[in-house]
Structure formats: C-alpha cells, structure tokens
Amino acid sequence: MTIQPLRIFIGYDSNEITACHTLIQSVLAHASVPVAFTPVALSGLNGIFARERNNLQSTEFSFSRFLTPYLSGYEGWSLFVDCDILFRDDVAKLFAMKDEQASVMVCQHDYTPSSEVKFLNHIQTVYAKKNWSSVMLFNNARCRSLTPDYVNTASGLELHQFKWLASEDEIGALPLDWNWLVGEYAHKADAKAVHFTLGGPYFTEFADCDYAAEWRAALAQVQSVRQRDERS
C-alpha cells in the first residue's frame, strides 16, 4: 500500500522566517503520519503569481495562499496555514475531518478585531469572514476556479470571502480549536492550533503574549538541531 504524505502549504513571509520554521517543528512534534511541507514563497512563484502588493496586505502571502489547489494539481486534499500558527495536536486529526461534500473547510470565526493595528504597524482590516482563510483544508478537485489568472486578478474580498465558490454551502466548518486566535480569544488549554494573528512572540511587542512560552520551546528545538549540525 502506498502512503501519501499529508500536504501542508505554509504562507511564507520574509519578515516571519523564524515563524515558518517553528510552525513546521510544531507540526512534526505531534504528527502521527508522514507530512510534506510546501512554503508558499513568492520567490518560487515566478511566472505563476504576478500580483502587485497593496497597502492593505499585512503578509506576502495574503493572496498567493489561494494557489494551493493549483500547486496541488487540483488533486486530493491540501491544508494551507498561515506561518504564525503553532500546532499543539496531531495534524492528522484535522485531515480526518475532511468532508467530500465540501470544497473547502475552515474555522468559521465570528468576531470583531480588538485592535486597529497589528504586527509591524499594519492596519487591521475588518471584513466578513475575517481569518477564515488563515487555515484552509482544500478539496482540490472542487477548487478549479482558483487558477493563477483568477488569483492574480480577483479582488481581495472575492478571494478571502470565498466568492470563487458557487455557493457558501460549499464551505465546510472546522472546530475553532484548530485556529484559536491568540489575543482575541481567551486562553484555552486544549486548543489544537493557536494563531498569533495580532503578532507572534518573535516580535518584541508580543514577546509575552499567550502561548509564547510554548512557541519558544518549539523554536528551541529548531535551534538545537541547527547548533548540532553546525558542530558536526
């Protein structure tokens, strides 16, 4: 029997490189099955993603995230996650919730951001379905409308509010535990994945945010391996 690794696409931002590597470590620390990571870095999307950055983007992957089904060949299931997330449980449990009747599955937040500004002084934009697209489990074959041409030309709201679907009934729901918003939601001891949406511990002003100690512990594992490799 051939085992296919779970495909995980990560939003990559040059201002949050450490976050990306720490996220990967947190997934590996809990994963019970093989996983395959693809950082969605703009440098690797030449000829595919050609969209100019605008002032409302807080990350380099604000729109390129929607290329996940295309990069997966519109086959199987793929998970996209923002880089500023820390996994605290087995990602296989998240994939186990996939619903073949859904085109995409997300944590359906219903909140108003508590701050007008987030990390690096980016404006906190407010819109319906805020943060739904920060963790997306794609049923790739049902997302063929997300072509490079569409992702390059559609408006931000068309993309982040899932206007590329024929109906909102195609959006499946994941438990909020898998995208627990740090600083927006109260501490939850059994949250499966926490999202430093306002700013992660790698930024000075958020060094003492909720779950920061856990994030630094995961970072320490990354750093210990690097130091060992440098000594060898």
Q: CB of 191 within 8 A of CB of 88?
A: yes
Give the position of tokens 């856990």.
214
Pick the CATH number of 6-231 from 3.30.450.40, 3.40.50.720, 3.90.550.10, 3.40.50.920: 3.90.550.10
Q: Supply the pLDDT for residue 221.
A: 92
Comparing 30-44, 49-63, 152-166, 169-183, which segment has the lowest mean pLDDT?
A: 49-63
Q: What is the pTM of this model?
A: 0.91
Q: How far apart are CA 191 and CA 181, in angstroms?
A: 10
Residue spans of the domains in the chain: they are 6-231
Smallest CA-to-CA distance from 177 within 165, 191, 187 is with 191
Residues 168-206 have pLDDT tens digits of 999 999 999 999 999 999 999 999 999 999 999 999 999
Q: How far apart are CA 41 and CA 64, in angstroms?
A: 9
Q: Supply the pLDDT for residue 27.
A: 98
Q: Supply the pLDDT for residue 227.
A: 59
Is residue 69 predicted with pLDDT exceeding 80? yes
